[in-house]
């Protein structure tokens, strides 16, 4: 079975993706989970928020090489306020990264172009308003009922497969896991509200109670409990709280298992969202190593794809885009100062560059004189003996 884009317009939703890849091919029925439904799981929200937060705060820098040297260039307006005056790059990057990580795609209408016919403003659109179609080999987009050719639409995608014009949705593929997690949540709520099972059991140990007697006894018991009164029984009644044994239904274990699955599908280490790790506590030598692992293994590929899309579609060659990951790799104070010391000693950085990184003004002449008085320069001439 081929991709359905050849024969019909396909809405880009997690539910549809799941239907194409599981129900249609394997014959297995899995409850559809939309992105809005999935976001009700705290682990899904935490993973998507973390990734979008980190990518959105990375400065977007533009460079070109001049005689083999990388030189920073001014940013075009589309990398300062991509959505116009009302949507700056921070908000735009957060929204698009959230869409990419949750649904594999993000879409926008190219509303303005600059003098080089490159996009100058991109108005993002909700995923639910977008349909993608391929007819006779021609790709087009239907957004809020209006058809747009590809050159009028900003379409970034990730998690791609050969021959498919859209990225795949990780939430669609995680649907069975997320469904189990959400079902466990619903079951827990139903259990404690009394709709899933009886709240308690009142059992006569001396004789069998017929239906009419059971109704009468239950009504008397409920009336006493509701009024806060005392319920008087003989010595042949047992009262057992069933709701207190909710953990026996294994719903807690199901929720714990679902957290790990969600983290793996959405590319976030479990400890980053306070989810338990199956291998125990994960420890790092310092904060930098923890963040470096997150950058390289989890969000590094997404960053590279975004840099490539911006470089190819928003800039004139030979300029290119880099997302500055320094904010994510900011070290603790002691480690940072030790690194600066090595960089200055090995002539890799100048003191003025270090001070700029620490948001400090260059040394004043008074400060230089004070350092000279406290730490006079050492002479390299060996002292004469004898």
Does position 128 have pLDDT exceeding 90, yes or no? no
> Dmax over Cα atoms in the chain, in whole Å?
120
Q: Which residue has the higher pLDDT, 34 or 108?
A: 108
**Pairwise CA distance, residues 31 & 84, whole Å:** 40
Average of per-residue pLDDT across 364-382: 80
Q: What is the rounded distance in angstroms from the CA atom of residue 89 to the CA atom of residue 330? A: 21
User: Rounded to 5 degrees, what are φ and ψ at 15?
Assistant: -65, -45
Q: How many beta carbons lie within 10 A of that of residue 353, not counting itself?
A: 14
pLDDT in tens, 26-53: 333 444 567 777 787 888 899 999 999 9
Report the distance separating Cα 44 and Cα 111, nearest Å.
32
Predicted pLDDT of residue 32: 58
| pLDDT bracket for residue 361 (50, 70, 90) | confident
For 229-288, the pLDDT digits (tens) are 656 666 566 655 544 445 455 555 555 657 888 888 889 988 888 876 555 555 555 666
> What pLDDT sits at residue 27?
36
Q: How far is CA 180 from CA 41, 50, 188, 256, 264, in A?
A: 11, 23, 12, 11, 15
Q: How far is CA 327 from the centre of its chain?
A: 18
Q: Is the pTM of this model over 0.85?
A: no
Q: For 5-14, write each residue's pLDDT tens digit.
A: 443 444 443 3
* Cross-strand partners of 139: 134
Residue pair 109/149 in contact (Cβ under 8 Å)? The answer is no
| Domain-wise residue ranges, the chain | 4-179+255-302, 200-241, 331-377
pLDDT at 209: 73
Model pLDDT for residues 166-179, shown as the tens digit of each residue: 888 887 777 666 66
Sign of CA dihedral 81, 87, 88, 93: negative
Neighbours of 146 (CB within 10 A): 9
Task: Provide the pLDDT for residue 332.
Answer: 64
Q: Is the peptide bond before 318 cis (omega within 30 degrees of 0)?
A: yes
Stretch 98-126: mean pLDDT, rounded?
94
Q: Can you state the angle between helices 251-266 and 42-56, rounded to 10 degrees?
A: 20
Q: Taking Cα atoms as reference points, which of 159, 24, 31, 147 lies closest to residue 100?
A: 159
Place of tokens 């953990």: 247
Residues 335-349: tens digit of each pLDDT: 778 888 888 888 888
Residue 352 pLDDT greater than 50, yes or no: yes
Per-residue confidence at 4, pLDDT binned at 50, 70, 90? very low
């Amino acid at each position: 079975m081929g991709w359905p884009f050849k024969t019909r317009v396909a809405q880009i939703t997690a539910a549809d993706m799941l239907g194409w890849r599981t129900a249609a091919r394997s014959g297995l029925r899995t409850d559809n989970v939309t992105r809005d439904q999935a976001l009700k799981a705290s682990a899904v929200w935490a993973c998507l928020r973390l990734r979008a937060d980190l990518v959105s705060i990375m400065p977007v820098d533009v460079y070109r090489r001049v005689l083999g040297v990388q030189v920073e260039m001014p940013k075009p307006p589309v990398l300062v306020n991509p959505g116009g005056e009302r949507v700056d790059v921070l908000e735009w990057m957060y929204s698009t990264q959230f869409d990419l990580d949750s649904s594999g795609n993000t879409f926008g209408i190219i509303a303005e172009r600059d003098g080089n016919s490159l996009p100058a403003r991109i108005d993002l659109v909700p995923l639910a308003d977008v349909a993608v179609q391929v007819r006779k080999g021609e790709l087009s987009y239907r957004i809020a009922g209006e058809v747009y050719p590809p050159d009028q639409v900003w379409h970034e995608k990730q998690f791609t497969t050969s021959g498919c014009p859209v990225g795949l949705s990780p939430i669609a593929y995680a649907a069975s896991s997320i469904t189990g997690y959400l079902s466990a949540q619903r079951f827990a709520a139903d259990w404690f509200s009394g709709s899933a099972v009886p709240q308690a059991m009142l059992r006569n140990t001396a004789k069998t109670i017929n239906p009419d007697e059971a109704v009468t006894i239950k009504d008397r018991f409920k009336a006493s409990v509701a009024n806060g009164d005392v319920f008087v029984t003989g010595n042949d009644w047992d009262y057992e709280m069933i709701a207190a044994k909710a953990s026996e239904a294994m719903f807690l274990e199901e929720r714990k298992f679902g957290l790990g699955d969600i983290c793996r599908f959405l590319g976030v280490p479990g400890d980053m969202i306070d989810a338990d790790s199956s291998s125990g506590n994960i420890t790092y030598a310092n904060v930098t190593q923890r963040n470096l692992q997150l950058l390289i293994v989890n969000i590094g590929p997404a960053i590279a794809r975004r840099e490539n899309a911006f470089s190819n579609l928003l800039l004139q060659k030979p300029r290119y885009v880099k997302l500055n990951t320094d904010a994510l790799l900011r070290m603790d104070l002691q480690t940072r100062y030790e690194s600066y010391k090595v960089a200055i000693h090995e002539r890799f950085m100048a003191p003025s560059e270090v001070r700029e990184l620490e948001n400090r003004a260059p040394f004043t002449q008074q400060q230089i004189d004070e350092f000279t008085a406290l730490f006079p320069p050492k002479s390299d001439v060996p002292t004469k003996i004898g």
